[in-house]
Structure 1
């Protein structure tokens, strides 16, 4: 059963500025007008603000004109997929990022807008919480913790993509300009906020039934481990491992036996899921004219197979993000993650008689995990392409196990062993044990999370990026260097900053 996080529309009341040449300034405001500061005065209204802080999660795939799904954006800079589409000019910002040639005027600038929208909305919850009357201390702590974790999540993506960004915990006022922080300063803001939310928020280890999509303690733990490991913060490795082992020992999460089933609608919010971004199709009203309304996702259509015909399982799409043949070849024949997560079209055509038309960079392999399923946008109420119901899996229990294994391999002390945690993931895949070295665990993560937006960040934090992110003899002609770690800041933001933002040396 699909669990929905219904988005509540917030009524924002503003004060009308009166004409200074009239006598209106002598009149008393009518009783039906409220200052914004006065609106958030009840538990129901601050909950509206909290729900609004979740809303930008659904905009990652498309909101302001660019296709910027966070898994796609990450993976096109790695080595498992291509960009695809019609040609190298189709969504040219993605092709430039793929070849490490992004420009301030051609980069995923829409994500900057989306992430800072999330920061802004999260800050509103914290800004007005003290005005709320009649709210219990436990509920207040819970809502604040959710907002803090959400803000940390949005900042984490800004930090990973751009590094040196404005970081603020109180929303800006006119002229809406903030100082630029270093990437290390941003990390400190993220990690200390997470520590506060974890220690003081009363978050449940797992969101209860009907609350799927809300921040949980396990989700906060996973985000904590992600930023600590990406920062290579040795001082917090033991704490990150402690959090991973708390998730493991809680007994509330486990691997599912059927890897392929994870990616079906029936696999959403399974026992393996720690955090997903919810999308739904029934009565979904997301449209091209209003893409930030709630509903489904365009990502399955974006990566779908072009001019697909005769398929009993999948809808066709636009041919982006084809999987590389050499990525498919990495898997052992008996590894259920290979054909459970990747569609080998030649094999599929033999089974079904399906046909398709190849697009740019196509090699006959497609990301089955998120392809558009038949009737995946059933009963939508707006634009079909924007309303597929595939949830995006942000954190899975498999990552908890591999995080724990890697942290131990890196020297952290825990109660379990790296071997046992790694073995669980490989056993589910149908594979024998291997040595739990850091190198082997990074390779295992590649096989487990192909197409889930993990690989690029793993290569950077592990130091392997210069080895793997090199010309491929076909389409990628440039080599990743440390100067490519942070994308160019969108030129529109540089222009609007009144000289406070310095461009990244990309």
Structure 2
């Protein structure tokens, strides 16, 4: 499948314009100004493709390892942090214990997501300035893509930091500061703009094979629903449920019968995939000297057993981060096919160097394979070919089930959606359903996918679940004051008007 996809969303050849950060704007164009360069459809398309590029950066970029799925899950109760010690990627360990500091927080993620916002804003600006040179179809679709991308980037900033600088027109003069909005204000701005673009129905429900990786109507529906559910915005539950039903009734998506197959390269962009972030190894040029270049991902190397003999049990070695908790493995029924597809039992399959917080279990979904970085041309660690699965049809079904219950709908319909997920896992179906049951099902379904922490916070379960553990790793209890990470100190020093979050 990957060989059939034009990587970097169909425009790798033009996307190589961009080196690091926003360097593509520093190129000397064939006209006098950037504005004059980005005044044709071809060149605005270049800018649009560049707005996708920051999606790839968080795993390693701007000096930090910040895979969004791991940054979320280490604060929950399914995986540990691991590594060599509690000072290895120390900010991860501090996040896990709810004691992050302004100088020990995922500052790279902040930069990555604001780079995405900036680039999306650029696209909208170029379109506005060059409307007479562009077709209306292109204007409509490119504008919709840029706005949905911007909402995605802001969603990540909003969830992690809450009270953030917000702007929809790029800052043009020093000191490049924007008003800091409260979290509720950020939400209202983003969700309103996202709803407006979704109402226009300018994007396909599912991307053509040549454009896999571009945002779609279904991806926008999932993003909208994620935000509404995290905000506990009862006024928008009905709309979110309608979006989930639209995806279900479209007939374009379905559960993949084999859960384990979802995580293989052949499972990328399968019938269950609503949206993935593309990575590839073949001819990938991502390197430690140029980590923002297009290519692969470091995620498999991060999470695989340390000093493992490559090839044993089809697994390659890694750095031993994010071991799966023993309690997570034991939470599954023995016949639940998700268990072994989620938890690789390294202790039963080979020898390796047991690092900090070792349990013997590692995240099988993205585990490194011996040929996982085949064909790369730069640094092997950074160029594995695993796409990051962001939204799956299973989540659509469970979202719909939960929203049906929240809105007083037909319990039989909600139960049917939950049982579809359970049947795929080869476990017994249920005779009744509740919101608590759905949250437990989500925990089993999405280990390592960055969903659990946000579920615990939005349902009010975090203070009861995220408590000191018996091992002495987590010694603090989550509280409302820990909902948002501290803003990086580099940002605080550059803008004296920013108000720091509690920490």
What TM-score bracket applies, with the shorter chain setting the length? over 0.9
Instruction: Give distance in 1, aligned partners of 2:159 and 2:260.
Output: 30
How big is the shift at 1:130? Answer: 2.3
Question: Structure 1: which 5+ runs fail to align?
Answer: 17-30
Instruction: Give distance in 1, aligned partners of 2:31 and 2:164.
Output: 37
Change in 2 beyond 3 A, CA 1:36/1:75: same
Q: Which position in structure 2 is the counterpart of 1:442?
A: 439
Q: Which position in structure 1 is the counterpart of 2:476?
A: 478
The answer on 1:35 being equivalent to 2:33 is yes
8 Å Cα contact 1:343-1:366 kept in structure 2: yes
Instruction: Give distance in 1, aligned partners of 2:343 and 2:142.
Output: 39
How big is the shift at 1:170? Answer: 0.3
8 Å Cα contact 1:335-1:430 kept in structure 2: yes
Q: Which position in structure 1 is the counterpart of 2:162?
A: 163
1:66-465, aligned counterparts within 5 Å? 66-132=64-130, 133-175=132-174, 176-309=176-309, 311-347=312-348, 349=349, 354-411=350-407, 413=409, 417-434=413-430, 435-465=432-462
RMSD between aligned alpha carbons?
1.6
How big is the shift at 1:416? Answer: 7.5
Q: For 1:275, what is the secondary structure of its paired residue?
A: strand
Q: Which position in structure 2 is the counterpart of 1:504?
A: 501
Q: For 2:59, what is the secondary structure of its paired residue?
A: coil
8 Å Cα contact 1:370-1:390 kept in structure 2: yes
Instruction: Give distance in 2, aligned partners of 1:431 and 1:60.
Output: 35
How big is the shift at 1:136? Answer: 2.1
Q: For 1:159, what is the secondary structure of its paired residue?
A: helix
8 Å Cα contact 1:15-1:35 kept in structure 2: no
Instruction: Give distance in 1, aligned partners of 2:84 and 2:467.
Output: 23
Change in 2 beyond 3 A, CA 1:416/1:125: farther
The answer on 1:55 being equivalent to 2:60 is no
Q: What is the TM-score when the length of structure 1 is the normalising length?
A: 0.94
Structure 1 residues 194-221: Cα deviation after superposition (integer angstroms, max 9, x where no partner) = 1121112510000011110000100000
8 Å Cα contact 1:116-1:154 kept in structure 2: yes
Structure 1 residues 312-351: Cα deviation after superposition (integer angstroms, max 9, x where no partner) = 411100000000000110000010000111112234x2xx
How big is the shift at 1:407? Answer: 0.4
8 Å Cα contact 1:13-1:39 kept in structure 2: no
Q: For 1:395, what is the secondary structure of its paired residue?
A: strand
Structure 1 residues 79-129: Cα deviation after superposition (integer angstroms, max 9, x where no partner) = 000000000100000000010010001010110000000000000011110
The answer on 1:9 being equivalent to 2:8 is no
Q: What is the TM-score when the length of structure 2 is the normalising length?
A: 0.94
8 Å Cα contact 2:305-2:346 kept in structure 1: no
How big is the shift at 1:414? Answer: 7.5
Question: Structure 2: which 5+ runs fail to align?
Answer: 19-23
Structure 1 residues 247-297: Cα deviation after superposition (integer angstroms, max 9, x where no partner) = 000000000111001000000000000000000000000000000000000
8 Å Cα contact 1:205-1:217 kept in structure 2: yes
Instruction: Give distance in 2, aligned partners of 1:14 and 1:343.
Output: 45
Structure 1 residues 343-376: Cα deviation after superposition (integer angstroms, max 9, x where no partner) = 12234x2xxxx21111000011110000111200
Change in 2 beyond 3 A, CA 1:371/1:43: same
Change in 2 beyond 3 A, CA 1:75/1:14: closer
Q: For 2:238, what is the secondary structure of its paired residue?
A: helix
Instruction: Give distance in 1, aligned partners of 2:313 and 2:410.
Output: 48
Instruction: Give distance in 2, aligned partners of 1:59 and 1:430.
Output: 36
8 Å Cα contact 2:30-2:37 kept in structure 1: no
8 Å Cα contact 2:405-2:411 kept in structure 1: no
How big is the shift at 1:38? Answer: 1.3
Tell which deviates more after alignment, 34-43 or 140-149: 34-43
**How many residues end up aligned between the 2 structures?**
486
Instruction: Indicate the structure (1 or 2) with the bigger Cα radius of gyration.
Output: 1
Q: Which position in structure 1 is the counterpart of 2:21?
A: none
Instruction: Give distance in 1, aligned partners of 2:304 and 2:204.
Output: 37
Instruction: Give distance in 1, aligned partners of 2:16 and 2:113.
Output: 19
Instruction: Give distance in 1, aligned partners of 2:412 and 2:159.
Output: 30
Q: For 2:275, what is the secondary structure of its paired residue?
A: strand
How big is the shift at 1:433? Answer: 2.3
8 Å Cα contact 2:315-2:367 kept in structure 1: yes
Instruction: Give distance in 2, aligned partners of 1:473 and 1:341.
Output: 23
How big is the shift at 1:391? Answer: 0.5
8 Å Cα contact 1:141-1:201 kept in structure 2: no
How big is the shift at 1:32? Answer: 4.6
Change in 2 beyond 3 A, CA 1:464/1:136: same
Structure 1 runs of 4+ aligned residues shifted over 4 Å read 11-16, 412-416
8 Å Cα contact 1:149-1:194 kept in structure 2: yes
8 Å Cα contact 1:10-1:49 kept in structure 2: no
Structure 1 residues 138-179: Cα deviation after superposition (integer angstroms, max 9, x where no partner) = 221111010000000000000000000011100012210111
